Homo-oligomer: A and B are copies of this chain.
Amino acid sequence: MSILGKSRLARPLDIANGRVDMSHGAGGRTMIQLIGELFLSAFDNEFLRREHDAAIFQLPPGRVVMSTDSFVVTPTFFPGGNIGSLAVHGTVNDLAMGGGVPQYLTAGFILEEGLPLAELATIVESMADAARDAGVAIVTGDTKVVEKGHGDGIYINTSGVGVVPDGIEIGGERALPGDLVLVNGTLGDHGVAVMSKRENMSFSTQILSDSQALNDLVQAMLSAVPGVRVLRDPTRGGLGATLNEIANQSGVGIELDEAQIPVRTEVKSACELLGLDPLFVANEGKLIAICPPENAENLLAIMRTHRKGKSAAIIGRVLEDSRCFVRMKTQIGGTRMVDWMAGEQLPRIC
């Protein structure tokens, strides 16, 4: 992102009525104006003010964790958030799940010709708010514009770096038989919020996306229990896909206890209507933690005292199983497979 400090265009952007056009991505003065008046004013920080194509900063000592995610969620605005806040939360959470303290993000925009500038401004403000709340800075970016019919309003990529403190070793391959599986709250909220907006469904109680940054919760958890072995956010594919990945990476089985898995009643009902299984629906403010059994009660207590872990629960345990099966004891007393092929796959949920 290269920016001209003093724009020489006579008139400011008409954010209320204007629309994105091809010139906003073509490298000329109108692109510089869009970046300056819309992005820089929202994300304002010392790195962006240097107006380089790249940001330069110092990182605290430690291993570096880096992640990237592109966001193509439809609709762009959904109950509880929009693509902008989601794009910040998603990458902050990926960094936190690596055991890292998120520090700096980048933002790459692919805008479709015709996108109302007012809509873009709202999304950018949401990104700025989400970044501030999570304690990260958006330090560099890029804007491209594609012709009408070659995008869907807006796609956003965020990439980020963080630092993993010494002594923290988190990884999907570290689960051991006997470990317990915890979750910080109710499952399926994000996917159902997006799907209900997409399908124009309304419920007596509005279902909000759980989209939120989890780095503060993770810090609290790791301070109290540095021996946490696995952290993972069950986004696309939901709890089912996430646990199957972990089971395969660690070469273990996992047994869930259905009675312990928190799912909102409204989400359950909506899932029935939509033909979905909450175990396979995306979350954007939830994490799975796996820790040694002797730490589990302590970890649970820490999570429950945190605003973002009030409904935390121990939902299962890790077993010896070379087939790497994920299974669930059902509430009626049986056992079912939780295979990640099961359940509807939802496209463009994030």
A87-118 near B? 1/0 per residue, CB < 8 Å: 00000001101111000101111100000000
Number of interface residues of A (CB under 8 A): 86
Q: Does A58 contact B (CB under 8 A)?
A: yes
Measured CB to CB, the closest approach of chain B to A2, in angstroms, equals 5
Query: What separation, in Å, do the CA atoms of A58 and B58 have in the docked complex?
Result: 14
Known A4-B248, A66-B57, A248-B4: A72·B146 in contact at CB below 8 Å: yes
Q: Does A75 contact B (CB under 8 A)?
A: no
A173 neighbours in B (Cβ, 8 Å): 50-51
- The residue from B32, B54, B157 contacting A65, defined by CB atoms under 8 A apart: B54
Identical chains in the assembly: 2
A82 neighbours in B (Cβ, 8 Å): none
Nearest B residue to A169 via CB reads B56
Measured CB to CB, the closest approach of chain B to A241, in angstroms, equals 5
Nearest B residue to A159 via CB reads B159
Q: Does A341 contact B (CB under 8 A)?
A: yes
A306-344 near B? 1/0 per residue, CB < 8 Å: 000000000000000000000000000000000011000
Q: A104 to B66, Cβ gap below 8 A?
A: yes
A56 neighbours in B (Cβ, 8 Å): 63-66, 98-100, 164
Q: A66 to B55, Cβ gap below 8 A?
A: yes
Q: Does A172 contact B (CB under 8 A)?
A: yes
A244 neighbours in B (Cβ, 8 Å): 4
Q: Does A295 contact B (CB under 8 A)?
A: no
